[in-house]
Amino acid sequence: MSAELFSVFYQFADVFAFLILSAAGLAIVFGMMGVINMAHGEFIMCGAYVTVGLVNLGVPLPIAQILAALTAGIIGMIVELLIVRRFYKRPLDSLLATWGLSLIVTQSMLLIVGSAVRGIGTPEGSFAIGGYTFSTYRLVLFFCAVAVLAGLYIIFMKTRFGVIARATMQNAAMAKALGARTGRIYSISFGIGTALAGLCGALYAPTMTLIPTMGATFVVESFVTVVIGGANVLLGTAPAAVFLAMIRMALNASYGQIIGQIGMLFAVILIIRVLPEGLSSVLVRRGR
């Protein structure tokens, strides 16, 4: 019985981690900043490729993953400076611009790196409970997801940067009038967002096949989580991930992956219909 219970927790943790890690970066870039970043998946791909490249050069996996997240963050800040900055007041144009970027990046990776890269293998370690065996690394992913949420909470709620950043997102003109360097705030926030996308790719790189279009497998889940979460990263994305993970886990376990995916997307349609502002609109109102 305890094996069954643990297995339910493990499956929940697995889906939760996938949703949080793939959505965290987008929650900042899209949820807070309002930039519809169609290249989100490509930042995830960037994190994965940098990780594998560094591991193949002999860098230990955890260090490679941190460096990969930093790389994605720096590239993100450059992209913000060159492209995204010009589109803050034109959200639909930002969609087109980042989409174009995504096409250019996947095609260039295909031409430069090739159609498939050899994987590096998941870190060893599995454990058995009852008749089931589990991969230890999947639990590591879950704890990373929790750590990402905690880190975001500290950055945006407990630091001076976080206060100014939230002020900038709410009313950039007022924040600027009060002396906040809003340009830098936008740049750093976008960088944090893409670094988190890179971290997602870095963490999942050992468990997946690496191809230039791999980001696409994360994009649907990440947009869905952010959209039903609403504008507040902490009060939106996290509950949204818990909610979607429970639905998907339950349906996956009883009816298989197809029904799991259909059911999750169906739940998303319902929520958007009932709560167009996302889950956080309810939670934030309650909190006031």
Partner 1 sequence: MNSGRIVGMALLGAMLGIAATGSTQAAEPPLKVGLLEDVSGDLAFMGMPKLHGSQLAVEEINKSGGILGRQIELIHLDPQGDNARYQEFGRRLLNRDKVDVLIGGITSASREALRPIVDRTTTPYFYTNQYEGGVCDASMISMGAVPEQQFSTLIPWMVQKFGKKVYVIAADYNFGQISAEWNRKIMKDLGGEVVGEEFIPLGVSQFAQTIQNIQKAKPDWLLTINVGAAQDSFFEQAAAANLNLPMGSSIKIMLGFEHKRFKPPALNNMHATANWFEEIDTPEANDFKKRWHAKFPDELYINDMGYNAYNALYMYKALVEKAKSTKLEDMRKVIATGDACIDAPEGKVCIDPKSQHTSHRMRLISVGPKHEVTVEKDYGTIQPYWLGEIGCDLTKKNDKDQYTPSHLPSKS
In the complex, which residues of this chain contact partner 1 (CB under 8 A)? 7, 10-11, 14-15, 18, 99, 103-104, 106-107, 110, 114-122, 125-126, 128, 131-135, 137-138, 206-209, 211-214, 216-217, 249, 252-253, 256-258, 260-261
At closest approach, how far in Å is the CB of 176 from partner 1? 35
* Contacts (Cβ under 8 Å, ≥6 apart) of 182: 168, 172, 175, 176
Sign of CA pseudo-dihedral 86, 26, 110, 202: positive
Of 134 and 161, the one with the shorter C-beta distance to partner 1 is: 134
How far is it, in rounded angstroms, from Cα 249 to Cα 228?
18
Of 169 and 203, the one with the shorter C-beta distance to partner 1 is: 203
Of 131 and 287, the one with the shorter C-beta distance to partner 1 is: 131
How far is it, in rounded angstroms, from Cα 217 to Cα 41?
8
Of 78 and 265, the one with the shorter C-beta distance to partner 1 is: 265
Q: At 15, give phi and psi (nearest 5°).
A: -70, -40
At closest approach, how far in Å is the CB of 118 from partner 1? 6
At closest approach, how far in Å is the CB of 153 from partner 1? 26
Of 103 and 178, the one with the shorter C-beta distance to partner 1 is: 103
How far is it, in rounded angstroms, from Cα 137 to Cα 120?
14
How open is the CA angle 141-66-163, to the nearest 5 degrees?
A: 90
At closest approach, how far in Å is the CB of 161 from partner 1? 34
How far is it, in rounded angstroms, from Cα 8 to Cα 124?
23
At closest approach, how far in Å is the CB of 249 from partner 1? 7
